[in-house]
Structures are given as structure tokens and as C-alpha cells.
Amino acid sequence: MDFKLPDIGEGVHEGEITKWLVKVGDPIQADFPMVEVMTDKATVEIPSPVTGTIEAIFAQEGQTIEVGKVLVKIAEKGKSATPKVDAPKVEAVAPPPKAAPSVTTSEKPSQREVTAPKQDHQVLSFTVLATPATRKLARDLGVDLNQVKATGPHGRVTKIDVQMAHGSIEAASPRSSHPSSHSTVALSKATKIQIPAKGEIERIPLRGVRKKIAEAMSYSKRTAAHFTYVEEVDMSAIVELRKSAANEAEKKGVKLTFLPFIIKSLIPALQEFPFLNASLDDDAQEIIIKGDYNIGIATDTERGLVVPNIKSADRKSVWELAKEIGELSESCRTGKIAIEDLKGGTFTITNAGSIGGVFATPIINHPEVAILGVNAIRKRPVVKDDKIVIGDVMFLSLSVDHRVVDGADAARFMNRLVYFLSEPKRLVFA
């Protein structure tokens, strides 16, 4: 069979081959990874749909190919192998394709008729419309997708549908690190390089995560009319609140950082200023206001920046936010992150505070229209009740797209954010 590059994400129309995990002549089991393909800041492991033998490979590492192009030919087990007709060993590599036209951001899950094995020998039909992440969740929970009522667009089964069918809607979705997982994204460790000798240079191909970061940042700076607004906030009350919750955090086994408090303060500010929780459709010339609050957390990894997001952050407690932040960060840094965790963000926080710095001018995470830079908390003199005291002061850097957000609204938004951060008890009445 000819296996084509599937549609593996919202808005994905091409992918870069970063690493082949098989070679011609290798046996391959159904559902085991064959190739790593770079899409949207991460390397997706594409599994084999069938058990068989690799007959031919049609793309080289470093090549970018379009969705729907043939990646590999597989001789299925139990079927006669295709006669070999002088096929080249690294296998009829076509020239790199031209960039494909942009597509809509609606999810288009694969409809390949294959089956995914489960340890208890049950199978799940791929004729059901569902994303790889949803299929993995269904396998983990033992849910038959054929029996699940679909509520997604075009009859697509969603994660919520699977959880509802399992009766565990409140349960967190498992994030397996099994190498054959459909739902995870491999973030391999950075290649260690030696410093060139004096007078020498070393050229490193711009590819993989770094290439995607370069493309995304360049596009964002080229299209969005960036401006950055900086404000300071006295975080003393939150510093004390976090300190008082230390014992409870230890009991819950949760690492409680400042980010959950910042997210909780961010939500009412975004609700008051919805144009910051939006995106701009350049083609349609429409501003899209989002009803969801999916807060992206820019995460530093050994291969570069990855931005998973917390879905429905407005519905989660400080403890739930802290737990999810920890899980997402760990998934990014250890090498596995669910594809769906990288999609659908509405607003991003980038936090360099643990490293240092007074303030920054962060680049917007396209297609969003705003990003908040969180910086180091430092002891500084502040004025309280006309007295100079020592406070825990932090600078906030808000970059917004001036095509969508006016400067006055950005300033008012920051005032509301500071209002909640400086006195977190106000959140009770938000």
C-alpha cells in the first residue's frame, strides 16, 4: 500500500521530514512509529497503519512535503509484495514541493480504514471521524469509538465525547509516553555541538523545531503591528498567599508557582476586554472573538520554544491550574506532549521570571493578538499609605496587535490585571 502524509492537525498542509525511524526492508508493526514529521513547533510521530515490510521511502530527511503526498510504500503482511522495478534505494525522492495555499483551521481527521490494536485485543475502527489524540484516549479508556455519540463538527468524535462515554468527564486525559502513541509529539533532545576551533565556523541546517520557530516569529512580526505596553505590579499579597499555601501544596503533591495566580487574575481582565482574547483572519478580514479561554504557556525546551495551552482555564481552580501547568511542562521537557495541547490557544503567557530580566517585548503567538510577558519578582521600594516600604515588584510586558487592539484598551486591560494581582482577594467578587 502507498501511505500518504495524513492531515494531522488544524491548519496543517505540509510537514518537514525530520527523522526516518525505519529503512527499506524493515518489518513494521501496525501502530508503531515510522517517521517523525515536523508540524507546528513539534515533531509528530507517524505510525504505520498496517503490519508489513517497508518497500520504498519517498521523502528524505529535511524535505518538506504536502499533506496527501506518498511517504512510504508498505508490503502488507499476508499479501504479495509489489514487484520491485528498479526502485532507487532511498526511493524516488521528489523535489521539495512549493508551499501549499493556506487552509481553514477546522480539524480534518484521517478516515483511513485501518485498525489500531489494543492490549486486550479489541480494535477501534479508523472509519470513525476522530483525531489521533482522541483515538489514543479511547484506547486508554477502553472505549469503542463506534459506540460513541459524536458532537464535533462534521460528526467528529471529540475527547469530551469519549470521556462522557466512559463516565469520566471530570478526569484528566492520560498522556502516555508509549512510543506507538498517535496522540503524542516527540520533542527530542537538542543535538550537542562542540564550539568550533579558533578561525573555524560550523554550519547547522535550520530545520525542525528551530525552523518552525523562525517561520512563526518572522510571520508574526511581519504581519502583526506589534506594540508593547509595560506596567509594574506589587505582588506582595500573592507572594504571601503562595507562601501560606505551601503546606497544602505539599500535601496535594503540586508545585505551586505564581503562574496559576496570574492566570486567575488574567481571566476577568480578558472577559472585560474581549478583543485581547481574539485572533485576526487576514484572508477574510475578520476579527474572531473567542468564547474559550485557552491560556498558552510558553515553555523552554532543549530544542526550542513550545507553547502548550490550558483549555478552559476560566473553569479551573488554582490547584487545577498548578497541576496542569506542571503536567504540560513535564510533557514538553521530557519529550512527549499531546498534539491537542498545542492547538486552540487564545492568549499566551511567556515567563522568563525564573531566569531574570526586568521587562521584555515578546512576539505575539500568531494567530493570537496578545501575549503577556511575566518577569522577575524583585524586592523594591514601593509607596503604601504614603509610606515607603519594601514590596515584591514585578514588571508585566504586554505585546498586542495594534490592528485589533488600541493602545488605550491595552492600558485599561493592564490596569485591570494589576487590580486583581495586587489584591487577589478581589477575585472573589470578579
Q: Known catalytic residues?
A: 402
The count of C-alpha atoms lying within 13 angstroms of the C-alpha of 252, restricted to the half-sphere facing its C-beta, is: 15
Q: Are 224 and 401 in contact (CB under 8 A)?
A: yes
Pairing of strands 295-301, 347-351: parallel
Cell numbers that stand for 427 in this block: 477575585
C-alpha span between 327 and 323 (Å, rounded): 6
DSSP bridge pairs for 370: 400
Q: Which helix (H) or strand (E) holds 298?
A: strand 295-301
> CA-to-CA distance for 133 and 139, rounded, in angstroms?
10
Residue 135, C-alpha cell as written in the block: 483515538
Residue 260 and residue 322 in contact, taking contact as beta carbons nearer than 8 Å: yes
Separation in Å, CA 173 to CA 35, 324, 337: 25, 11, 12
Q: In Å, what is the CA distance from 129 to each residue of 110, 133, 409?
A: 7, 12, 41
169: how many CB neighbours lie within 10 A of its CB?
12
Helix (H/G/I), strand (E/B), else coil: 1:
coil
Exposure class string for 122-143: b at 16+ Cβ within 10 A, else e? eebebebbbbbbbbbbbbbbeb
Distance, in Å, from the CA atom of 94 to the CA atom of 82, rounded to the nearest integer, reads 20
Cβ neighbors of 266 (< 8 A, separation 6 or more) are: 295, 347, 349, 372, 417
Helix (H) or strand (E) holding 214: helix 208-223
Cis peptide bond upstream of 274, omega within 30: no
- Strand-pair partners of 313: none
User: What sign for the dihedral angle of Cα 408, 409, 411, 415?
Assistant: positive
The single-letter code of the amino acid at 303 is: R
Q: Which three cell numbers stand for residue 285?
A: 478580514
